[in-house]
Every structure is written in structure tokens, then in C-alpha cells.
Chains A and B, each alone.
Chain A
Amino acid sequence: KAGVTQTPRYLIKTRGQQVTLSCSPISGHRSVSWYQQTPGQGLQFLFEYFSETQRNKGNFPGRFSGRQFSNSRSEMNVSTLELGDSALYLCASSFFTANNEQFFGPGTRLTVL
């Protein structure tokens, strides 16, 4: 069974640009969650999607958004990038809810210059 995949693995952008990250969950998993990991703030929950609907949202500004498609694949978008958005963005999938065992992808390392 293939694991969670994230693309791209590395990304370099400049301030003000926007970026879209992609996550393909494990087959059969319907819940996809996104996290931001930085040395200073640690791991922070961004949002969770289930059946194409955002189910939960963390405390991030509206520049961070996401969506989920009918095949459970998910994308997250960050608009008007700031230097502080540089981070490892992790995607996790689970069968039903983020309160179950989550399987994490390798992450996308975003650097904002």
C-alpha cells in the first residue's frame, strides 16, 4: 500500500508570491490534515478535510487555505507569502478522523526569500 505522498518536496519562493502544495493520502483514507512545522513554533495544526469539506481549522490567517477533491487528494494554498511562512509543511491522512492514527507524508520544505 503506497504511503502518503506530497509534492513538491522542496520549493523556493519569494515574498508576495503564492504557492500550492499537494497531498495524496493513502488509498481509502478520507481525512487529510495539514501541519506547519518550524523550529520556533514547532508543529502546528493548519486544517483538516474530510469528504471535500473543511472539518477543523487551526489559528492561521486567511492566507492559508486548502481544499480536498473527490478522490481525497488535497491541496493547500498560501497566498502573499511572508518570510515567516518558511517551514516544513506536513500532510497526514487517516481513515476517518485526525483523532485516529494518522499517517504522515515526507513533507514539503518551503523556503521564502
Chain B
Amino acid sequence: AQKVTQAQTEISVVEKEDVTLDCVYETRDTTYYLFWYKQPPSGELVFLIRRNSFDEQNEISGRYSWNFQKSTSSFNFTITASQVVDSAVYFCALSEAKGDRDDKIIFGKGTRLHILP
């Protein structure tokens, strides 16, 4: 069965510090997608990244970077030089891509990130 674990319920860091949000997943499929979404205080989820299971390249987008390691079933997200605007709840998600009616997206419980000025 699919499972996504975000062990960090809440994290607080001081502005300009780096912070890493952990995500560990479980799946029996060899083909799947991993996602990160951000939910700011306004409530609307914002897509950050999608990674498929065959692409283990790390990705960097500005201050954001993602480390995908199939060997440890992890897809961690790092914010470098954090800013107050990064304060939000961050969700990691997994979708098995079998292409049938059982495909569904499973979200982790989320990590609430507080960036303190």
C-alpha cells in the first residue's frame, strides 16, 4: 500500500537559515510520481515540483532544492536562506502511475514551517 510520512510536524527556524523538510514514502510500484505542494496561510495549495520514479536527478529552483533517493525512499526538500514568506504548510505526495482506476494521490500529513524574523 502507498504511504507518505512527513515525520516533522512543525519546524521553526530563524530567517536566513537553511531548512530541510523530510519525506519518506512507501510503494510497491516501480512507476510513480512524487510531489511537493505548499499551502500558505491563505489556504490554496501551490504546486512546487513533480518527480517521476525514473528520474533521480536532484533539482534546484532558486532557493529551493529537492533530493530524491530511491535507495532510502526519500524525497526531501531544502529551502536555502529561508524567508518569512516561506512560512506555510508543506505537503509531500505520492501517486502510483498504473494508468488505471486505482491511481490516487496520497498526501503526507504536512510539515508546518515557521520562519521567524
Bind each other: yes
A residues contacting B by CB (< 8 A) are 33, 35, 42-45, 48, 55-58, 88, 90, 92, 98-107
Q: Across the interface, which residues of A come within 8 angstroms of B97, CB to CB?
A: 99
A42 touches B47 (CB 8 A): no
| Contact B103–A90 (Cβ < 8 Å) | no
Q: Is B43 an interface residue (CB 8 A)?
A: yes
Q: Which of B16-24, B67-75, B78-86, B105-113 contacts A (4 or more CB under 8 A)?
A: B105-113
Q: Given known contacts A57-B101, A99-B105, A101-B47, what 15 new A-B pairs fall within 8 Å (CB)?
A: A33-B105, A35-B107, A42-B110, A45-B104, A45-B105, A56-B101, A88-B43, A98-B105, A99-B33, A99-B97, A101-B50, A102-B47, A104-B37, A104-B46, A106-B42
**Whole-angstrom distance between the alpha carbons of A57 and B101 in the complex?**
7
Establish whether residues B33 and A92, one from each chain, have CB atoms under 8 Å apart when the complex forms: no
Tell me which of B44, B46, B103, B107 contacts A42 (CB under 8 A): B107
**Which residues of chain B have C-beta atoms less than 8 A from A106's C-beta?**
42-44
Closest chain A CB from B98 CB (angstroms) = 10
The answer on a CB contact under 8 Å between A45 and B44 is no
CA distance A45 to B103 in the complex (A): 10
Interface centre among A33, A35, A101 (most CB of B within 10 A): A101
CB pair B47–A99 under 8 Å, yes or no, is no
Contact residues in A for B91 (Cβ distance below 8 Å): 43
B interface vs A, CB < 8 Å? 33, 37, 42-47, 50, 91, 93, 95, 97, 101-110
Given A43-B91, A99-B33, A99-B97, also A56-B102 (CB < 8 A): yes
Q: Complex: how many Å from CA A104 to CA B33?
A: 18
Flag if A92 contacts B45 (CB, 8 Å): yes
Complex alpha-carbon distance, A33 and B104, angstroms: 10
